[in-house]
Amino acid sequence: MPFLSRTSLALCAALLLPALSLPPTSALEPNSVAGVFERYISKTELANPSAIVIDQNTGEIVFEKSANSLRKPASVQKILAAVAALTYMQASDTFTTTVSLGQRTRTLVIEGDRDPWMSYNHKEAERLGRTSIPRIEYNSLSALQEANAEPIEKITIYYTNLFSPELAHIKSFYKKRGITASLKRVNAREATELKSEEILSSHSPELQRMLAFFLTWSDNALTERIARIAALKAGESFDEDGVGVIFAGILESYGINSAPLLVKDASGLSHNNRITVRQVGSLLQKIRFDPQFAPVVNGLPIGGITGTLKDRFNKTAPEAVGLVKAKTGTLNGTTNLAGYIESEDREYVFVIIADKHPRTNTAAKRARATVDRILGKIAAPLLPQPSPQPVPEAPEVVAVQTEVAAQA
């Protein structure tokens, strides 16, 4: 009786295995995403939130609830601040601070550049590449002592473009050492005329690193400074009014109605800021693939992995870990999240503002968990598709004749 060799059996098995493989999980279609939000967004933990979901591929709004309702953005407002910074400055911009001895006895000249990220901790400054206030203080004191043989009781510090907290820190440093420091603001030309020998010069990290930091870790002070610098670069006032003007201008430049926008600060710390999820969602959708704003997208915390989302999703919705990039927003009674979520070959922009829940830690924790679980029902990784395998030609099956020896 003819039979197949081991080689032929292995070949048949190889041909059958692909047919037994399970198909990959399909991404949720927009109508399914809408269904998830319809079912869960009205949960009591979120206390009548405002929400919007946009298909990034098509720009279609697949779900919205109270999308034009004015709500508290909290730190979601930092997205606008980051976009403003990259609208009026370059991602590679740095800020330089130079300290020199003055031509007059017992004087210093500090030429600032409105560096928004100076550090009061020298080790931290070295680790992050920031300008160190202690380095400025100790080096300037040493230079003054070397230049003046007599004990120093009073000095004058001429300065340009420094923030008040840094000036206060420097003044306090000298006061603790029995030296009275008088601070006098001058313009750039006057600073050049007053200075003599340079003591040190320090450069900040690039702007894009600062944006990544304040988005990832929600740094309020850094956000405020950078947004005000952007306002100044745009020709507006160096205050919240100037910030409000440029925020509105950015929305309008993308065809987004800015009329309801109310800006009281850049960081979202004020309870009096107001924005709509439609405004935030539309902006996120517009900038997503614009290389100019890549530092904004790349700076957003990643669910379960980085920044203010590091401890989110791991327990509440592990299926979403690594698939959500979004900015958190938290105030008393407010729990917000805005960004992007992957669902295989689709990506959705989402904004959820829940600013009406009770002002307790328990309520905030429940609201966060509910948001996480909603997103967990949408998230799905893009799995690599198996490469098509060439179908081998069927081998010629040869019958093997077996001779049976006759028994005598």
Q: What are the pLDDT digits (tens) for 231-261?
A: 999 999 999 999 999 999 999 999 999 999 9
Residue 7 has pLDDT above 90, yes or no: no
In the Cβ-directed half-sphere of 211, how many Cα atoms lie within 13 Å? 29
- Please answer whether residues 326 and 309 qualify as being in contact, where contact means their C-beta atoms are separated by less than 8 angstroms: yes
Q: What pLDDT, on a 0 to 100 scale, did the predictor assign at position 148?
A: 92
- Quote the mean pLDDT of the chain: 90
Q: CB–CB of 100/201 below 8 Å?
A: no
Looking up tokens 């009591």 gives: 44
Nearest to 283 by CA among 97, 148, 24, 86: 86
For residue 149, the 8-state DSSP code is S
DSSP β-bridge partners for residue 55? 348
Give the Cβ contact number of residue 288 at 10 Å.
16
Q: Which two tokens stand for residue 197?
A: 């020998």
pLDDT for residue 391: 63
Residue pair 261/274 in contact by the 8 Å Cβ criterion: yes
**Residue whose entry in the numeric block shows the structure tokens 């927009």:** 30
- The answer to whether residue 10 scores a pLDDT higher than 80 is no
Confidence of residue 311 (pLDDT cuts 50, 70, 90): very high
Distance between CA atoms of residues 202 and 191, nearest Å: 17
> Which pLDDT does position 31 carry in this prediction?
76
Q: How many CB atoms lie within 10 A of CB 147?
A: 15
Q: pLDDT band at 394, cuts 50/70/90?
A: low
Stretch among 6-15, 61-70, 146-155 having the lowest mean pLDDT: 6-15
Confidence band for 386, pLDDT divided at 50, 70 and 90: low
With a cut of 70, say whether residue 2 has pLDDT above it.
no
Q: What is the mean pLDDT of residues 69-98?
A: 98
Q: How confident is the model at residue 291 (pLDDT cuts 50, 70, 90)?
A: very high
Percent of the chain with pLDDT over 90: 84
Question: Are 84 and 72 spatial neighbours (Cβ–Cβ below 8 Å)?
Answer: no
CA distance 189 to 128: 32
- CA 392 vs CA 6, 269, 396, 398: distances in Å: 17, 66, 12, 17
pLDDT at position 384: 67
Residue 337 near residue 374 (C-beta atoms within 8 A):
no
Please give the average per-residue pLDDT across 188-210, as a whole number: 98
Q: CB within 8 A of 158, min separation 6: which ones?
A: 102, 107, 108, 109, 110, 184, 185, 186, 190, 191, 194
| Coil vs helix vs strand at 273 | coil
The answer, yes or no, to whether residue 408 has pLDDT greater than 80, is: no
Please report which confidence band the pLDDT of residue 403 belongs to, taking 50, 70 and 90 as the band edges.
Answer: very low
- Sign of the C-alpha dihedral computed for residues 39, 41, 47 and 51 taken in this order: negative
Determine the distance from the C-alpha atom of residue 348 to the mean position of all C-alpha atoms in its chain, rounded to a whole number. 17
Helix, strand, coil tally for the chain in percent (to 5):
40, 20, 40
Percent of the chain with pLDDT over 70: 87
Residue 39 CB: number of other CB atoms within 10 A?
11
The dihedral over CA atoms of 208, 210, 216, 221, expressed in degrees to the nearest 10, equals -140
* pLDDT tens-digit map of 35-72: 999 999 999 999 999 999 999 989 999 999 999 999 99
pLDDT of the residue at 187: 98
pLDDT band at 30 (very low <50, low <70, confident <90, very high): confident
Using alpha carbons, list the distances in angstroms from residue 207 to 130, 241, 286, 339: 12, 23, 21, 21
**3 state DSSP class of 174:** helix
Q: Are 260 and 70 in contact (CB under 8 A)?
A: yes
pLDDT of residue 392: 63
Give the angle 213-215-218 at the CA atoms, nearest 5°: 90
Q: Give the DSSP per-residue string, 70-123.
A: -B--GGGGHHHHHHHHHHHS-TT---EEEEEEESSTTEEEEE----TT-BS-HH
Q: Is 197 left (phi over 0), alpha (psi -120 to 50) or beta?
A: beta
How far from the centroid of its chain's Cα atoms is residue 278's Cα?
20
